Amino acid sequence: MVSTLTRPGRKLAKRLLLLQVCVVLATAILMVTTINVDWGISALIGGGIFVVANAAFALCAFLFSGARAAKLVVASFYSGEVLKILLTVVLFSVVYLYAEVELVPLKLTYLLVLGINILAPVLFINNNK
């Protein structure tokens, strides 16, 4: 019974992550074919940072469910958000320090996937009606 409460949210999160991965790959392939390989790799890294952090959040957000675990649900949600922010900061720091990337496609793809993260749930929810 308790797992049935989170099933729609988990399904939505999986669809959203899959959409984000597809958009990142399509953007990277587009940049490789139109500009050069360095831009494609940078786009893949920028989008990958967002997808990895968002996947970590989704895992934490759906750890618990049910009214009896209300405090655990809230705690796991907030800890997932903190983990998402920390992962984003750490991954960007590692990329800036240790990788030679083009900043324009890196940030552009990150912002593109962020925009999808904001708009896609509305499309998915309206699509179910």
In this prediction, residue 109 carries a pLDDT of: 93
Model confidence at 1, pLDDT cuts 50, 70, 90, reads: very low
The pTM of the full predicted model, rounded to 2 decimals, is 0.83
* 66 Rama sector, left if φ>0, alpha if ψ -120 to 50, beta otherwise: left
Measured in whole angstroms, the distance separating CA 39 from the mean position of its chain's CA atoms is 20
* pLDDT tens per residue across span 64-114: 665 566 677 778 788 888 999 999 999 999 999 998 888 999 999 999 999
Domain coordinates in residue numbering, the chain = 1-66, 80-128
Place of tokens 């912002």: 111
